[in-house]
Amino acid sequence: MKPPVSAPPADGPSGVVLRSSRRAATVLTAAGDSIMAYIRSHIEELAPGDKVVFSQKGGDYVIQAVFERKNALLRTYRGERRILAANLDTVLIIAAADPLFNTDFVDRVLAVCRFQQIRPALVINKVDLPNARTDAEARLYRSLEVEVLQVSALTGEGFSALERLLSEPGLMTAALTGISGVGKSSLLRRLIPSVQVEIGAVSRKIGQGCR
């Protein structure tokens, strides 16, 4: 079932939501400007990637309506559903090389992608580790027609293939997801050196990030 959305008006400037809270959102306009806009009370929920129509009154911008979503990346926690991102062209599922590979998480995201008709790509990071094993997982998911990339955010191995994927014609919006400690922040920093993200330590015992 598609999440509830407002029917957009026929005219008015439009943009894409970059981030949002309950009352306001940062919107990238068609002109390439980033603006802060208030959200009308009848709009239930916004997510990054939502396409919206806004108006301007005085010095304030107000989001008036939301275009229908073509898809949405959802998460349910303790019975509460949250929309993580919308209108995606691809989802990069980041996993760490075996023995830290988390099959349950990868399979859950793949199921959501198939249901929402989002193209998934499995990115297995940390292939530079001494005991890293990735071939078995790569063969398994490729047999399921999932694109698999084996990379190292530390050394840059495999990043040319990842950059080619993200540069494909028509691919405009991508989401990146993965459990703590798989190297999401390191991947982002190598892809976009100017991005400001914190890189945390990883527990040797459980193989996940720690704060």
Per 3-state DSSP, what percentage of the chain is helix, strand, and coil (rounded to 5)?
A: 20, 35, 45
Q: Which regions of the chain are under pLDDT 70?
A: 1-10, 196-211
Closest CA to 53 of 21, 14, 89, 92: 14
pLDDT at residue 52 in the model: 95
Cα 37 from Cα 187, distance rounded (Å): 30
pLDDT at residue 111 in the model: 96
pLDDT at residue 78 in the model: 81
Q: How far is CA 117 from its chain centroid?
A: 15
Cα 25 from Cα 20, distance rounded (Å): 4
Q: Are strands 147-150 and 119-125 parallel, antiparallel or unpaired?
A: parallel
Residue spans of alpha helices (H) in the chain: 103-116, 135-143, 159-166, 184-191
Cis before 99? omega within 30: yes
Pair of tokens at residue 150: 């084996």
Cα 59 from Cα 42, distance rounded (Å): 22
pLDDT at residue 174 in the model: 95
pLDDT at residue 201 in the model: 41
pLDDT at residue 99 in the model: 81
Dump pLDDT digits (tens) for 8-17: 554 789 999 9
pLDDT at residue 196 in the model: 66
Pair of tokens at residue 34: 């980033």
pLDDT at residue 204 in the model: 40
103-106: long-range pairs with CB below 8 Å, 24+: 103/137, 105/178, 105/179, 106/141
Q: Is pTM beyond 0.95 here?
A: no
Pair of tokens at residue 73: 């990346």
The helix (run of H) or strand (run of E) holding residue 11 is: none
Residue spans of alpha helices (H) in 35-193: 103-116, 135-143, 159-166, 184-191
